[in-house]
Structure 1
């Protein structure tokens, strides 16, 4: 490459760094510009070797010379800067990045999450749903569940008061693990944050079944991988604004293009003001996400991505207060089970927080990936990811009741701070060979993860001058049937929060290596996948408050995955897969007998069998699968409010949980104008063994048991064969869109759909009479037109048109009917 061009590159980099200063970035809003495949390693073109190079370009020159030496066997390197636009648009992307160029509307052709390399979905021997940027844009999502719920078998599991909004359940099993090891969703294939915003998201992929072979410590239901936006080669920009019900509004912008012929940038940003529906409640958030892609030659690229998201709630929204289980050993008419049942009579707009309460959540994500094509067979990747998630919350509201008949509720003033840091280093290699009689694709990799989780909390002591009937409280009790007692102008200084204190620090390190292969015979009509991963994890929990540390905990496992896919005809394929998973225990749990212990690793295994089909040249595709999953040693949380108003969360490690069912999804482009996505799930997810010896415990005479024995007896009675939390036997989803092409209607588009949930249990022991069934209806109508080189669009969106009152998860609130209007301009 010419020396002058190196100077230009460095100058462009310096200019870009200045242009992306935070003071300028804060003024940007974001866009939903579709991804373009012309951002990746380009096809070869002629290169010009420099006669000399100035000192400030030695690093770039040395790198190019080293790559040239490696690539000698393939001829001279090709300089991307010398390519014309026709060559750039024929670019073949890295096998570690998903090919979005073959997508058509809602239909995703390829996936990267199911195999860690770009592969056609129809050739992967398990169920995968991949939601494209076009689908995401039409949904106007606020949370990951707004998209993931369309995947069959996915429900919401977030404990919103301390856990963020990104914890889902797949086939009944939460994707997150214990605090401190909370993987939840993945971001570009590595650990993602606990709170997620869609400003920088281009794709969401859901992979079903145990996936520890590919991703380490994950639950057996599956994983959700969020794929972020990447820079494009050609300039594009999008600006959008949205306004809606109850004063909500949002501004977004997305700008991408070349800084030079070898350096490309992207900047997505947003500001969001949430609706003012609940009283009291206020929340606003902002996101800024710059990224760079440097590609000096066709075999090498280096990417850098950063994302900062902050959400401020003052006060935050809390679930309505709910009753608990029966107080005796057996439920009765006078002592019924009301677990998870809301206190009646409170309006949907009600929020139990004080005006002084708040929750501040922020995430920082930084990642860099180096991709190198070693030869015609092998592609290599090295990467580093840094993630931080912090939440600082003060809560006066309470969500429990002292007993199942009272309307009197104690208050609390609790301050808690959670800090989660995660650093990941990963190496990967993908090899491809044509053996003549067969094809072979190899995957090797290694990963090191260093995690730190710190949590601190303190609570106000109870005021002895207040009546303790039915519960003690630091502030005057509320009568939930009498609004005159709802005094929200109360506060206690943080220095006075001396009760129920803890200060804990968890350090953990995970090391793993993995390898797998996909072997194809009979012209790839039969594909056989095998893979194994060895993972070793170590952790130590320190009690900072009492200056004590628990013994170091370590665990290791080899988790296999096997898959088989046979193409019966060009349209029909049959597949089967088996995989295992494990999640080690890290934090000690409070046992029901009053002690504490580190739980054993949870271990899962599962298999899928099913069929995949594609008709009409791929315009209609569908997957039907039967699944059977077993998970052992799961920790279930039991929240108990005592007579002093103190909430204690006990952990019970169950013997076994199972989930069996059928999933079906289909994506159709019935005509050039009409797109359709639909899914259905039948699921039987339950606790088959709560204590590990339920039958023996329930065979005992409760009159002969001591206090601990009675506690185990009661909980075996509550949870034996009970449904998994937030699981539902039937889930169905549909979304469709039609774009008018006739001259008189050109530019008009309409869309609509529903989310149907039947007989969903909030908590495993919620009475069957109080399970929820609801239908959410949503609709979209919009118009797009061009003014010169610019495309303008206006859209009207209606969500929850029936104004259903529902609970997305056990600890969150459903949103009311929302009507929004949005306007966007593409440059």
Structure 2
């Protein structure tokens, strides 16, 4: 059995867009725990389809960062929140939501397809994920309606045409235990069929009282070769998450500190959130010739989420001493039923016209989603909870009269479809890219009395790349995206309908590799302007007693991002990243505020982020050690309170035992108490992970 490659610290600074040295030419062993050029070889992907066609990241005129399977494995990452620190310009917001170049973003893509089954309190598991790709900036021309900061694309694991299998077991503090196994390979001697099966389970408590998570994933796939150049891949994934006590945060005081010990929680032992979901996916690939190929793919998902929990209300002063010390609560019972399906077709053609090499990518996509919510909130008879001396277990669901509650129902239907075409022209040292897309969309919510609202939008993307050397790209680009207005803002009674919120970005940068891949820097500068945000306009007189809206809101985000991967010596590898972002309101209705903004700025959007990871291999011991750190500057909560910045460190050691590898990992070495992000004043700030130690035993076959 080949020995596994080493672990990496929970670190940051993954410079995935950097390109690798050719280790095979250097005679290195890439299947040993002792591997030189690790950042250049194992943490890099030289082909991605995030631009709607297979391409080298160096040939994409936007910032691209890719977190590979080796990085995921070496960091011991279990869900996507473990990886944000590796990506310049991306930070945690709420659950699976991120702040991306200054903008809040939720919803992700899978293999380039819409259909995110983690839209509530749940967080995506990484067990069935091969790599995670980040395309930064507006992507409307490629993917239609989307947030301005960029997109996150999960590339799922597919059946392989050769045998491979792995077993993992993990144990650690906070009652952490779990195991996983997967196997893949050919199913017949002719190589027509290949399959994959896998299962994952993990239990983990947190430092907060009544808080833990249980995750289970079962995943399978079948690849069928229908002909020499035709392949059909089908996949089925089922997942369950049980998340008692991982809903809200801890209130902050005026100084930005937690108003209670970080073990405090507003939830009772019986509160829960249960998620059950299933995803089915298929993709047909056909290569008609070296110059023409196409693929057709589809994704269906459905998940049900049931939540019953105590929701915090604004903090109060219970004894009149001027100190906010008690959290009133209400009890919520919520059931979500969400189903969606998407179909995408893409054609790629390559041909020459004189000295110009054209790569034409064209296609279309269609998406439908229905989201149903049945909720009720009860306040009568729900007890409060002290911040300093909480007593749990004194109340439960059985004590509440739901006839006094406030019900809420929603039945939102969303429909998206579009067509696009893009031409990439190669001529000598230059690459030029240009594309256009037309989108149609409609939304409705019959349960809320909101009729169907429809619209359309045209999106453009242009870019140019100059290669002064073969593995160096200087690029500049212009890109657009849009987001349909909410159905409530489209009502003619409030002045609607309105055109979608529109975003545009100008970006320039450099990415490449030097010294045979030993030095891999990337640098990007950008400016994003988001216009057409609907606001209540005090300059407009009410109509029939209803305030009128105007699409006058504007936000501008400017920033710089840099990453570096370097093989300092044969045994020493360092990666680092830094991001600066300044996002603020640049236009608004007089006296009005843009949603979620605080004094012209936005919450959970740090101006500075940095990460460093350093790994050194000890050949004589057949082991490797790693040390990493993460810095995030201060950031605002929605309440206007400024949360403190934080710096945390992590370390790991990996040792080959011959029959298997063992990794020992410590996160937050100095057990720093910190907030990662925040809600508003009553729902508080999320608590950063306390010092966590775990041991993972793993064997690959």
Q: CA deviation at 1:536?
A: 0.3
User: Alpha-carbon deviations, 1:306-331, whole Å to 9, x = none?
Assistant: 211111123445311357xxxxxxxx
* Matching residue within 218, 223, 230 for 1:288: 218
The structure-2 alpha-carbon separation of the partners of 1:813 and 1:587, relative to structure 1 and needing over 3 Å to count, comes to farther
Give yes or no for the alignment of 1:227 onto 2:227.
no
The aligned counterpart of 1:104 is 41
- State TM-score, norm by structure 2: 0.85
Structural RMSD (CA):
3.0
Selected match of 1:442 from 360, 374, 397: 360
Structure 2 match to 1:771:
643
Residue of structure 2 equivalent to 1:726? 604
Summarize the alignment of residues 162-201 of structure 1 with structure 2, pairs less than 5 Å apart.
165-176=95-106, 184-191=107-114, 192-194=116-118, 195-201=123-129
* Distance in structure 2 (CA, Å) of the matches to 1:502 and 1:631: 32
Higher relative contact order (CA 8 A, sep 6+): 2
The CA distance in 2 between the partners of 1:539 and 1:718, in whole Å, is: 23
- Using the TM superposition, give the Cα deviation of residue 686 of structure 1 relative to its aligned residue in structure 2, in angstroms: 1.5
CA displacement at 1:667 relative to structure 2 = 2.4
Match of 1:146 among 67, 70, 82: 82
Distance in 2, Cα, partners of 1:33 & 1:355: 39
**Alpha-carbon deviations, 1:704-745, whole Å to 9, x = none?**
xxxxxxxx4xx589957632221111100122323333xx32
Match of 1:535 among 439, 449, 458: 439
Separation in 2, partners of 1:205, 1:211: 13
Assess, with a 3 A threshold, how the Cα gap between structure 1 residues 590 and 385 changes in structure 2: closer, same or farther.
Answer: closer
Tell me how far 1:143 sits from its aligned partner.
Answer: 2.7
Aligned twin of 1:560 = 460
Shift of 1:564: 0.5
Q: Deviations over 1:23-58 (max 9, x none)?
A: xxxxxxxx9999xxxxxxxxxxxxxxxxxxxxxxxx
Aligned residue runs from structure 1 range 426-465, under 5 A: 426-462=344-380
Matched-pair contact (CA < 8 Å) for 1:322–1:401: no
CA separation of 1:143 and 1:628: change in aligned 2, threshold 3 A:
same
Aligned-residue offset at 1:292: 1.1
Counting only pairs closer than 5 Å after superposition, residues 22-171 of structure 1 correspond to structure 2 as 104-113=41-50, 115-158=51-94, 165-171=95-101
Could you tell me how far apart the structure 1 residues matched to 2:583 and 2:640 are? 15
Distance 2:691 2:651 in 1: 11
CA distance in 1, matches of 2:333, 2:138: 37
Aligned partner of residue 633 in structure 2, secondary structure: strand
Deviation at 1:508, TM superposition (A): 1.9
Deviation at 1:172, TM superposition (A): 0.9
Q: Does 1:508 align with 2:383?
A: no
- Residue pair 1:107, 1:668 contacting (<8 A) in 2 also: no
- How many aligned positions are there? 638
Query: Can you list the C-alpha shifts for 1:530-556, whole angstroms capped at 9, x where unaligned?
Result: 01111100111112xxxx632210111
Structure 1 residue 358: Cα displacement: 1.0
TM-score by length of 1: 0.73
Larger displacement relative to structure 2 (529-538 or 812-821): 812-821
Q: Does the 8 Å contact 2:58/2:472 carry over to 1? A: no
| SS of alignment partner, residue 626 of structure 1 | strand
The verdict on how the C-alpha distance between 1:296 and 1:717 changes in structure 2, with shifts beyond 3 A counting, is closer
Which segment is superposed worse, 597-606 or 448-457?
A: 597-606
Secondary structure of the 1:137 match is: helix
Could you say which residue in structure 2 is the equivalent of 1:679? 577
Structure 2 gap ranges (5+)? 8-37, 537-548, 680-685
CA distance in 1, matches of 2:332, 2:489: 20
CA deviations 1:574-619 (Å, max 9, x no partner) are 110001110102442699xx98987752211111011223112234
Q: Cα distance, 1:785 vs. partner?
A: 4.2
1:235-271 C-alpha deviation (Å, 9 max, x unpaired)? 1111010101121112011211111121111122110
1:753 matched to 2:677? The reply is no
Cα distance in 2 between the residues matched to 1:720 and 1:358: 31
Residue number among 512, 520, 523 corresponding to 2:426 in the alignment: 520
More strand by share: 2
Please give the secondary structure, in 2, of the residue aligned with 1:210.
coil
Contact persistence 1:33–1:254 (CA under 8 A): no
Change (3 A) 1:688 1:753: same
Query: Deviation at 1:492?
Result: 3.7
Asked if 1:304 corresponds to 2:241, the answer is no
Matches of 1:32 and 1:636 in 2, distance apart? 53
Classify 1:555/1:780 alpha carbon distance in 2 versus 1 (closer, same or farther; 3 Å).
same
Instruction: Answer with 1 or 2: which has the greater Rg.
Output: 1
- Whole-Å Cα distance in 1 between the matches of residues 363 and 555 of structure 2? 31
Corresponding position: 1:780 with 2:679: no
Contact preservation (8 Å) 1:248, 1:276:
no
Aligned partner of 1:349 in structure 2 is 263
Query: Is 1:353–1:488's contact at 8 Å kept on the other side of the alignment?
Result: no
**Partner residue in 2 for 1:246:** 174
Secondary structure, in 3 states, of the residue corresponding to 2:181?
A: strand
Of 256, 264, 283, the residue aligned with 2:184 is 256
Q: Whole-Å Cα distance in 1 between the matches of residues 496 and 81 of structure 2? A: 33
